[in-house]
Amino acid sequence: MPDVNIDMIYNMKHLMTVLVSAAAMLAAVPSFAVSIVPQPVSIKENRSVVQLPQTLTFYGQDKALKSLVDVWGESFAAIASVRTGSEKKADVKLYLDPAMEEEEYTLEVSAGNGAVIKGGSSKGVWWGMQTLAQVLLQTSQGEGKPFMVPGLMIQDKPHFGYRSGMLDCCRHFFTVDEVKKYIDILALHKLNTFHWHLTDDQGWRIEIKKYPLLTEVGSVRKETLVGHLSEKPEKYDGTPYGGYYTQKDIKDIVAYAAARQITIIPEIEMPGHAVAALTAYPWLGCRGEGYEVWTKWGISEDVFCIGRESTFDFLEDVLDEVCDLFPGEYIHIGGDEAPAVRRKDCPDCQARMKAEGIADETRLQGYLLKRIEKYLNDKGRHIIGWDEILDAGVTPTATVMSWRGPEGGIRAAKQGNHVIMSPNTYFYLDYYQTSDPKKNGEPLGIGGYVPLSKCYSFDPYDKLSEDEKQYIKGVQANLWAEYIATFDHVQQMILPRYCALSEVDWSEKKTSLEDFKARVKTVMLPMYDRLGLNYAKYGFDE
């Protein structure tokens, strides 16, 4: 038993008094470390407290920055009200700083100057405004009360220039408003690209004026599989299912995305995943007849015929209209899961192979790829294709989207192709989030297991040399929608796993899984609640 004398007890009491009063002082000054997702390059806080009113007056240095204010006000109406005013009176001031990189920003909050966001372009400023929303959410004192923000300086810029989420609108159709909400969610995570999957076996979803049957016929399937594809006997719902985006809808969505600093990459699948198009125009397929928009999931042997010139005329006409609608640099031309079997019995494909000296049916796909790439290059565009294009015969200038794990991406980087990593093993967000989906109440899914921690653990540079790293352009998550019929379900699949995507894409150095999860809990889950977004309530600790 240690000796305890009266002096020690007195000293301890004194120490306690000091600690308690220090804690009381700390509580009176709501200074704390703000949590931001994705983790910024640096955050410095001081012990000052800056009061910002619930209705924030914004000042934008130029017209483009002013227009961000309205968009931000719409996005975060649940956090703050917004009006614009003079530079002198503003609580939040937005400036361009030509010395910064395009997507770089700083956010400084100080007693004398309120919140000041500087960015290398509208993009940088916009990402800074996303960070501001996270700061405000954490310093809110309740409805109608001012924000009590610690004095701070955040410096930040993204690691990757391509940060993306994909949505499959073919297997299930999502409305214009839902697609816009998806774009809002991308912006909230500082993702700058939306990969829009628009054509597939189960539905063609983009209006092409020159070929009206693509949507009149190809956007509708007569019924849809019920339950999992593996369940036998297969069951169908007997209800026609369809939907498509008019060109007017698409222009509206492209403008909506641009206002949120997001570029859209449309995907027009070729030569596979084309049954909806073949149903509309059977002369596009090797067999030339007998097609029906698919009602179940999987891989069809019926693909575009690469032998006939009429297929190229069609694809080029479609791409002309696609390029007119989407101003971005990249067009995704699919290229995945395109069986070569029909080419064996197709005289046109065989004649093409002979004329071009192509030895096997698989590599005939490389011929299509090269021609289409040249066509798009001549229009000033570049192509992206799924990693099967490596086997079909890839050009040095195509960007490879690695989905069958990271291996295709590693192979492509080693041969000098640009790469987007979207490995199913880390970023297929249609996969389950828990190891026991039934027990955890996860809705029926395609399979797989990609919990939040697995997404977070992805290293896009694994197995690459210093020199090869330059070919990795960014990381993307994919949401295939075979088993996802509602937008509520869409949100539950991407949230909160988009937090891990955004951090892998944006933050040069990860902190730790524990720290990441703590920040997600502190700021992102409350943000989803405040904005009325649906997110998964399971899988967080797996």
Interface with ligand ACM (CB under 6 A): 336-337, 386, 403
Sequence-separated (6 or more) residues with CB below 8 Å from residue 271: 303, 304, 306, 335, 338, 365, 368
**Which tokens belong to 54?**
């619930």
Place of tokens 């012990």: 47
Q: Say how far apart CA 499 and CA 459 lie, in whole Å.
A: 15
CB 317 within 8 A of CB 324: no
Choosing from 156, 168, 184, 200, which is the catalytic residue?
A: 200
Choosing from 252, 316, 337, 468, which is the catalytic residue?
A: 337
Partner interacting with residue 336 (select from Zn ion, ligand ACM, none; CB below 5-8 Å by kind):
ligand ACM
Toward ligand ACM, which CB reaches closer, 386 or 431? 386
Partner interacting with residue 114 (select from Zn ion, ligand ACM, none; CB below 5-8 Å by kind):
none
* Nearest approach, Cβ of residue 403 and ligand ACM (Å): 4
In which element (H, E) is residue 122 found?
Answer: helix 122-139
Toward ligand ACM, which CB reaches closer, 180 or 404? 404
Nearest Cα neighbor of 368 from 380, 348, 329 is 348
Q: Say how far apart CA 493 and CA 474 lie, in whole Å.
A: 21
* Nearest approach, Cβ of residue 41 and ligand ACM (Å): 33
Partner interacting with residue 286 (select from Zn ion, ligand ACM, none; CB below 5-8 Å by kind):
Zn ion
Q: Say how far apart CA 421 and CA 5 lie, in whole Å.
A: 66
* Nearest approach, Cβ of residue 448 and ligand ACM (Å): 11
Toward ligand ACM, which CB reaches closer, 138 or 402? 402
Q: Say how far apart CA 125 and CA 103 lie, in whole Å.
A: 8
Toward ligand ACM, which CB reaches closer, 126 or 386? 386
Partner interacting with residue 386 (select from Zn ion, ligand ACM, none; CB below 5-8 Å by kind):
ligand ACM
- Phi and psi, residue 64, nearest 5°: -65, -40
**Residues facing residue 298 across a β-bridge:** none
Toward ligand ACM, which CB reaches closer, 386 or 516? 386
**Site residues (vs Zn ion, CB under 5 A):** 286, 305, 307, 346, 348-349
Q: Say how far apart CA 461 and CA 402 lie, in whole Å.
A: 13
Partner interacting with residue 456 (select from ligand ACM, Zn ion, none; CB below 5-8 Å by kind):
none
200 counts as catalytic? yes
Toward ligand ACM, which CB reaches closer, 212 or 447? 447
10 Å CB burial of residue 66 (0-12, 13-18, 19+) is: middle
Sign of CA dihedral 436, 440, 442, 444: positive
Partner interacting with residue 346 (select from Zn ion, ligand ACM, none; CB below 5-8 Å by kind):
Zn ion
Task: Quote the Cα angle for 171-175-176, to 5°.
Answer: 130
Partner interacting with residue 403 (select from Zn ion, ligand ACM, none; CB below 5-8 Å by kind):
ligand ACM
* Nearest approach, Cβ of residue 401 and ligand ACM (Å): 8
Q: Say how far apart CA 514 and CA 288 lie, in whole Å.
A: 57
Q: Which residue is nearest to ligand ACM (CB)?
A: 336
CB 297 within 8 A of CB 228: no
Toward Zn ion, which CB reaches closer, 6 or 359? 359
**Residues facing residue 148 across a β-bridge:** 51
Choosing from 189, 195, 197, 273, which is the catalytic residue?
A: 273
* Nearest approach, Cβ of residue 22 and ligand ACM (Å): 56
273 counts as catalytic? yes
Catalytic residues: 200, 273, 337
